[in-house]
Chain A
Amino acid sequence: MNLVVCVKRVPDTAESEVHIDASGKDIDKSRLSFGINECDNYAVEEAIQIKERLGGTVTVISLGPKENDEVIRMALAKGGDEAIRLEDEAFDGGDGFAVAKALAAAIKGLEFDIVFTGALADDDGYAVVPAALGELLGVPHATYVKKVEILEDGKRAKVGRELEGGLLEFLEIELPCVLGIQTGINEPRYASFKGIKQAAKKEIAIKSAADLGLDPSEVGESGSWAVLEKFTPPVVGEMAEILEGDPEETAAKLAAILKEKGLV
């Protein structure tokens, strides 16, 4: 099995206060720590587990600056074989579709059976890349995948997709394909020190838009369908009723509402 896994480096905003920066189009990332996108971490593990079961190679691809090497090397340390980083000013400001175009151009040059991505990114959360990548590569795709089983002929896979309410939808998909992986599909391993040392020696191939045969107008901001206008913090209280008064009054009002809605 030739497996490709796409990884994104994102800021960790789970336990940090997030502020909009001066441009109004991004958050202030100066005090945030960065790491692999959570879904992508599971995607890496899934690819490596399949390689360990069935043999083959895992190629790690990431779009972004040199800082992304940290995320790429961690995936190599866990068992990835090759790595490609897409770096070009032309890629800046791209939406999910523009990112998928760059990734697809890089993947087209490879032999692949399955391309793994995370189902969605922790930062912008568009969940566009796996579907767009499938279309651009001309192969079937499935997203929110929580189970992957390669069928015996090695030409098809049975995948379970996560639906609302904890339901799984099972479908058969022909290889090659793109799978957008959901968290919880496996238990991501920790990279060992030995793996880290080996990964440090591996080369990460850097590819520009020109290397991929892409015109700068096709990618980045100019190649995007969605245009980011500005960030605004959610308006507090618009959808909420704020109870006022001393504790006894507010408690009585709350109790009345809960009763009225039939919640108690």
Chain B
Amino acid sequence: MISFELSEEQRAVQKVAHEFAEREIRPLAAEYDEREEYPEWFVEKAFRAGLTYTYVPEEYGGQGMDFLTACIVNEELSWGCCGFATILGANNLGVTPLLVAGNEEQKRKYLLDLTSRPSLAAMALTEPEAGSDAGAVRTTAVRDGDFYVLNGTKCFISNGGIADLHTVYASTDPSKGTRGLSCFLVPKGTPGLSAGKKERKMGVRASVTSEVILSDCRVPAEDLLGAEGQGFKIAMITLDKARVNVASGSVGIARAALEAALDYARQRIQFGRPIIENQAIQFMLADMDMDVEAGRLLYMKAAWLETKGLPFTREAAMAKTFCSDMAMRVTTDVVQVFGGYGYMRDYPVEKYMRDAKINQIWDGTNQIQRLVMARSLMAR
């Protein structure tokens, strides 16, 4: 038996997230995008609404949602604004290595603190020369007694530099490439940890994206996650989840854009009638609707597999790629439906297009995702 029905609880939390997005995020989304400013008040508001650290288990102070429910919440938040949703998404991403590989002591120490207050987390993997090629990470971690000394520069880090906890990947053995990577817990205030350049972005501009600089940053050995050399594996398991999250956020953006197009096409009069009466517009809207529906099914399937404890690397890659490509396509077409007005910043749709784009790039480009899918296919 197959069921596409959400549970009563899932529908309820979906409604809560939707109302939160509608009331707290949407009215301010354009302003923070325009000013490219991080909304300091937002995390506290989300914390009070119970929308932070969604899939961290209750025993560690999180909301205890299963992964599918967390993705449903993210779709709604991204429907409100992908930039705002990114702040909370980066939180989940930042603590996922801890959930994946942390020992009980580490989880208690860090998660219980982060989840007890409005806080931020960040995962720092990417470097200027190590994007798709994670094995090229140049940040090093050298053992010194009971400490590791970290040196290097991370870039494009969401919540970077302002996070209360950074999970940082560094090489403990540069000769081994990806097998030499290790993951460390680096809390705010650790000497040698600092924020570098804050990036100026095309989209998701309410979220901080920054360089993170590690300069003789001394991390206690007990803050190594798992064992030396396990970093790459931790990152890949973490990214599988992040990719499904990206997929759900892309569906949120596309849905918001489609709704805007439908409203506009009903109101916009040309040649004496609403443009929605033209089949050319109807077919564009129909394609968008089909796209959004297909995207949602794909991310939900991937998230459902995770929830069941089944392998989902292939489906995560598919969902991430399909949904972000879909959101790019849909938002581009929505700007077209709006015509000249769509290109103007007075309407929200050009922002949807700018916000959609990053989803094809981050958490593994869509080209890397296709490699993942192809490898899975060839392994059959």
With both chains docked as a complex, state the minimum distance between the C-beta of A211 and any C-beta of chain B, in angstroms: 25
Residues on A with C-beta less than 8 A from B11 are 70
Partner of B8 from A35, A191, A200 at Cβ < 8 Å: A200
Q: Which residue of A lies closest to B58 (CB)?
A: A194
For the complex, count residues of A whose C-beta is within 8 A of B.
16
**Are A193 and B48 within 8 A (Cβ)?**
no
In the bound complex, residues from chain B placing their C-beta under 8 Å from that of A194 are 50, 58, 63-64
Given contacts A70-B12, A200-B9, contact A193 B64 (CB under 8 A): yes
CB distance from A210 to the nearest CB of B (A): 29
- In the docked arrangement, what's the CA distance between A194 and B54, Å? 11
Instruction: Give the distance to chain A from B62, nearest Cβ to Cβ, in Å.
Output: 9
Interface size classification for chain B: 10 to 19
Cβ contact within 8 Å between A77 and B48: no
Contact between A190 and B9 (Cβ–Cβ < 8 Å)?
A: no
Q: Are the C-beta atoms of B50 and A190 separated by less than 8 Å?
A: yes
Among A73, A74, A191, A193, the one with the most B-chain Cβ atoms within 10 Å of its Cβ is A193
* A189 close to chain B: CB less than 8 A: yes
Take A189-B48, A190-B50 as given contacts and tell me if A196 and B63 are in contact as well, using a CB distance cutoff of 8 Å: no
CB neighbours (8 Å) of A197 from chain B are 9
Residues of A within 8 A of B51 (CB): 190
- The stretch among B13-21, B119-127, B235-243, B274-282 that forms the contact with chain A is B13-21
Q: B52-67, CB under 8 A of A: which get 1 and which 0?
A: 0010001000011100
Interface-centre pick from B9, B12, B19 (highest chain A CB count, 10 A): B12
Q: How far is the CA of A196 from the CA of B50 in the complex (A)?
A: 11
Q: Does residue B78 face the partner (Cβ distance < 8 Å to A)? A: no
Verify A190–B49 contact, CB threshold 8 A. yes
Q: Are B16 and A191 in contact (CB under 8 A)?
A: yes
Q: For the complex, is B69 an interface residue (Cβ under 8 Å from A)?
A: yes
**CA–CA, A135 and B188, complex, Å:** 60
- The CA-CA distance from A199 to B13 in the complex, in Å, is 12
* Given A190-B19, A191-B16, A196 contacting B48 (CB threshold 8 A): no
Q: Is the CB of B8 within 8 A of A193?
A: no
**Distance of A191 Cα from B50 Cα, bound (Å):** 8
Q: Which residue of the partner chain A has the closest CB to B73?
A: A193
**Given A189-B48, A190-B19, A190-B49, residue A196 in contact with residue B58 (CB < 8 A):** no
User: Which partner residue on chain B sits nearest A192 by CB separation?
Assistant: B50
A155-191 interface bits toward B, Cβ cutoff 8 Å, 1 = contact, 0 = none: 0000000000000000000000000000000000111
User: Contact: B20 with A192, CB < 8 Å?
Assistant: no
Task: Return B54 CB to nearest CB of chain A, in Å.
Answer: 8
- A195→B48 CA distance, assembly (Å): 13
- Which positions 243-275 of chain B face chain A at CB distance < 8 Å? none
Query: Which of A190, A199, A200 lies at the interface centre, i.e. has the most chain B CB atoms within 10 A of its CB?
Result: A190
Which residues of B lie under 8 Å from residue A191 when comparing CB positions?
12-13, 16, 50
- A193 close to B49 (CB less than 8 A): no
Minimal beta-carbon separation of B15 from chain A (angstroms): 8
Q: Which of A35, A70, A189, A196 contacts B13 (CB 8 A)?
A: A196
| Residues of chain B lying within 8 A (CB to CB) of residue A190 | 16, 19-20, 48-51
- Say whether A192 contacts B12, CB under 8 Å: no
Interchain CA distance A190-B69 in the complex, whole Å: 16
Within 8 A of A (CB), among B49-99: 49-51, 54, 58, 63-65, 69
Give the complex CA separation of A77 and B48 in angstroms: 14
With A and B bound together, what is the CA distance between A208 and B316 in angstroms?
50
Contacts of A74 in B (CB 8 A): 12, 15-16
Question: Is the Cβ of A73 less than 8 Å from the Cβ of B12?
Answer: yes
Q: Which residues of B contact A70 (CB under 8 A)?
A: 11-12
C-beta contact mask, A46-90 vs B, less than 8 Å → 1, else 0?
A: 000000000000000000000000100110010000000000000
A237 to chain B, nearest CB (A): 20
B69 in contact with A189 (CB, 8 Å): no
Chain A positions within 8 Å of B48 at CB level: 189-190
Q: A196 is contacted by which of B9, B19, B20 (Cβ under 8 Å)?
A: B9
User: Complex Cα distance A152/B9, Å?
Assistant: 39
Q: What 15 new A-B contacts, CB under 8 Å, besides A194-B63, A194-B64?
A: A73-B8, A73-B12, A189-B48, A190-B16, A190-B49, A191-B12, A191-B13, A192-B49, A192-B50, A192-B63, A194-B50, A196-B16, A199-B12, A200-B8, A200-B9
11 contacts between A and B (CB under 8 A): A70-B12, A73-B12, A74-B12, A190-B49, A191-B50, A193-B9, A193-B54, A193-B69, A194-B58, A194-B64, A195-B50
User: Which 3 A-B residue pairs are closest in the complex by CB-CB distance?
Assistant: A192-B50, A190-B49, A196-B12
Residues of A in contact with B (beta carbons under 8 Å apart)? 35, 70, 73-74, 77, 189-197, 199-200
